Structure 1
Amino acid sequence: MKEFWVYTLLRLGLFFGSGAIVFGIWFLITGDVPLIWVIVIAFAVSGVASYFLLERQREKLAEKVQGRAAKAAEKFEQQRAKEDAD
């Protein structure tokens, strides 16, 4: 669960950081900032940045999810085998 929150908070940080930078640049250039475009551009920039910058955290999260899925599948198979034996 820790890996999920770390990755999520880092993604949110990248999004808001990108949004602040886009807002600041747009404001300096034009003075009039359309908020919807700032959100769209920040979303795209943070998505690309997270692909490269958060690879290690994404791998940790994937390993954790894969481990939990394997445990759940094993438990399911044990329950199914137990039902077949009854």
Structure 2
Amino acid sequence: MKEFVVYTVLRIVLFLASFGIVVGIMALAFDGSYNLFWAVVLAFLISGVGSFFILDRQREAFARRVETRAAKAAAAFEERKAREDTD
């Protein structure tokens, strides 16, 4: 669960940072005005690409945790299924 929270918080921070940068650049380029819709779209794109490269280690840790939990759940299921077959 910790890996999920860390990854999610970092994604949110990366999006907010991207949004701030995009709004700043748009405000400078368009004399203080910007389109909020396009600022959000660009921030999503930039943060998505950035998270692919920047947050790779956190994503891998989260994936390992999920894989471990899934393997434990599958093993427990198989054990219960085997016990049921012997009864």
| Same-fold call, TM cutoff 0.5 | yes
* CA shift for structure 1 position 37: 0.4
Indicate the SS of the match to 1:32.
coil
Percent identity of the aligned residues? 55
Distance 1:41 1:29 in 2: 15
Aligned AA (1:66): E
Q: Which residue of 2 aligns with 1:70?
A: 71
Indicate the RMSD between aligned Cα atoms, in angstroms.
0.6
Q: Partners of 2:20 and 2:86 in 1: how far apart?
A: 61
Structure 2 gaps of 5+ residues are: none
- Using the alignment, how far apart are the partners of 2:10 and 2:64 within structure 1? 18
Question: Which AA in structure 1 matches 2:11?
Answer: R
Residue-pair matches, total? 86
TM-fit CA distance, 1:59:
0.7
Larger deviation, residues 66-75 vs 27-36: 27-36
Amino acid at match of 1:75: A
Paired residue type of 2:26: W
1:33 aligns with 2:34: yes
Partner of 1:6: 6
Q: Which runs of 5+ in 1 are unaligned?
A: none
Secondary structure of 1:56's partner? helix
Q: TM-score, normalised by structure 1?
A: 0.97
